[in-house]
A and B are shown apart, each in its own frame.
Chain A
Amino acid sequence: MNPAYLAEPADWLRDSVVQVRQGASAGSGLAWGWDLVVTSAHVAHAGEVDIVLPGGECRRGIVRACDRARDVAVLSVPGLGLPAARRRAPSALRPGEVIFAIGHPFGVQRALSAGILHAVGPLPEGYPLPAPQRLLPWVQADVRLAPGNSGGPLADAEGCVIGLSTMIVNGLALAVPSTAVEHLVRAAA
């Protein structure tokens, strides 16, 4: 294996990325386990949602768990049939490492954007976010995200997921660490 660029890890990861639709809102989701998808709580927080698979087929998803404060939701999706994404703890990465995001920015299907890891941890004072939220651990990335990326993966150069894209603050991309997502998935099991 010697993928010259991000195309190869991105191809693997794209097979695990779905679109999540609930009412007027649409975001991204990531296959995390057998019939299991994770997304942002602000994309899907309760009830049933529509899941669009990479091939275009639709499935129904049911919200099994939701952490509004951490902005993560866990969905069960019968008949999902997608490979679970590989994961890595963001603490294993150093600022400056190449990362990429896959999602549906402004509805563009499974689009890639690339950048670097900015920092891991709470946001410094001065960012316009209420203190409890600002002080949560975040994967912070210098990468261009847009509405529709929410709930999609942020991955390292080898395609291992380090976080779920959540929001953009002062141009900085924030993702929930993969370890925090795993924590909620285990709690919901």
Chain B
Amino acid sequence: MSAERSTIAQLSDQLADAVERTARAVVSVHARPRMPSTGVHWRDGIVVTTDATVKREQDITVTLPDGRRVPAQLAGRDPGTDLAVLRIESGALPVAVLGDPSTLKPGHLVLALGRTGDGGPRAAFGAMSATGGKWRCWKGGELDLWLQADVTLYPGFGGGPLVSPDARVLGINSGGLSRPLTTTIPVSTVNRVLEHLLARGYVARGWLGAAMQPVRFSDAARGRIGIEQAAGLVILSVEPDAPAALAGLMLGDVIVTIDGKALEHPDQVLEILAGDVVGKTLALKYVRGGKLEHADLLVGERPRTRR
């Protein structure tokens, strides 16, 4: 053995330190048959895991790093972003040290951690593959950053943290959001969803109660109405007593702007509704009978279907 540690041995030590330090806030979540999943002690008494690994809402337990198994209550879940939040006893554990994943670039080294039962932490290693800005995943939720890592999520790793070599938690790893790479739900998204889940147990999403599709305007129509944009959204149906109906919208109306922003694609409406808009009023402009009209629409909460 030499007194001087080689570069690779130093990296090795650093990675093992990052695993050891982060693992103090990493728990095992027993909320499905057979293999448990992983959770992160995000705030005092609050454990974050993935929605997909929580298969039952009662009789959930959590194994702490010291091997103690404690009861946990489901505080809320959001299938859209694949997050679930559990409450455990307060003061039981140190909380995770959170980092800033917005500075990640392809090539940055990362670790994934798992805890599957009363054993020690489990680790996997790799690099960031792709990073980017906010995106909407196939489950419908909006994630603040596109984080794809070339790191293997072994059985039970879902709900565990993505960790930087300096022992910062960068987000929660989800096995179900995309393949073959590992998708990470970034810290800021977890924090945002966490507030909703702790307040009411779910994430309220905005609702208009109208179906619409894009429709193109002819040059002549644009000139006659007095608008610039190439397309609008024609209303195909309006649910009775829904926000759109209460605002006076009818079949055949063509929405052209919301709060002054031109609308040409339904995704733009979904984006508006994904934000914190429930209970807020949107100013709409729409075309009816060849004339531009105005309406104020009070956004409702999308009715929740039972899982």
Contacts and interface: CB of A to CB of B under 8 A. Distances in A.
Given A118-B124, A121-B119, A157 B111 contact: no
A125 B111 CA distance: 23
Contact of B152 (A93, A122, A142): A142
Interface in A149-189: 156-158, 170-172
A56 interface: no
B8 A126 contact: no
Nearest to A119: B122
A124 B156 contact: yes
A3 B117 CA distance: 38
B116 A96 contact: no
A121 B124 contact: no
Interface in A91-126: 93-98, 115-119, 121-122, 124-126
Interface size class of B (residues with CB under 8 A): 20 to 34
Given A125-B35, A140-B122, A157 B8 contact: yes
Contacts of A171: 152, 154
A118 B123 contact: yes
A6 interface: yes
Interface in A63-103: 93-98
Interface string A1-34: 1111110110000000000000000000000000
Interface in A121-151: 121-122, 124-127, 140, 142
A2 B6 contact: yes
The secondary structure that dominates the B interface is mixed
A98 B35 contact: no
A115 B8 contact: no
Nearest to B153: A171
Given A1-B2, A124-B156, A125-B35, A116 B120 contact: no
Contacts, number: 104
A1 B6 contact: yes
A2 B7 contact: yes
B34 A119 contact: no
Contacts of B19: 94-96
A157 B12 contact: yes
Contacts of A158: 1, 6, 9
A115 to B, nearest CB: 6
A4 B123 contact: no
Nearest to A1: B2
Given A4-B6, A171-B152, A126 B12 contact: no
Interface string B92-120: 00000000000000000001000011011
14 contacts: A4-B6, A6-B8, A96-B18, A96-B111, A96-B123, A116-B111, A117-B123, A118-B124, A119-B119, A124-B116, A125-B117, A126-B155, A157-B12, A158-B1
Interface of A: 1-6, 8-9, 93-98, 115-119, 121-122, 124-127, 140, 142, 156-158, 170-172
Interface of B: 1-2, 4, 6-9, 11-13, 15-20, 23, 34-35, 111, 116-117, 119-125, 152, 154-156
